[in-house]
Amino acid sequence: MTTKITKSSKDLTQPTIEVSHLGQPFTVGSHVSFTFGKEHFDGIVEKQLRNSAIITFTGEGARSTLAQDLKQKIVISYRQMALV
């Protein structure tokens, strides 16, 4: 006898992430600036996490070696970001 294992639709849903009060101004699509490794970069918030956000590099920083090595995305703490 074989048993077929299936995932319920409940298992496929994304968990809800509770964003901290520091992250509330940095909504998805917001233009931000941040410093990483003594260099200044600009980017757009792609996804909010609890204490940080996934940022996609924009502008001059998008052509940097760092951005290319990181495949144009980086996780930055809300404390290190400023709205542009």
pLDDT band of 14, cuts 50, 70, 90: confident
Query: Taking residues 45-50, what's their average pLDDT?
Result: 97
Q: List Cα–Cα distances, 34 to 16, 40, 74, 83, in angstroms.
A: 26, 6, 11, 9
Q: Are 57 and 43 in contact (CB under 8 A)?
A: yes
> From CA 50, how far away is CA 70, in angstroms rounded?
21
pLDDT band of 16, cuts 50, 70, 90: confident
What predicted TM-score, i.e. pTM, was given to this entire model?
0.81
The answer to whether residue 15 sits within a structural domain is no
The better pLDDT of the pair 1, 34 is held by 34
| Model pLDDT, residue 2 | 52
pLDDT of residue 52 exceeding 90, the answer is yes
Q: How many structural domains comprise the chain?
A: 1
The answer to whether residue 10 sits within a structural domain is no
In which domain, by residue range, is 39 found? 27-83
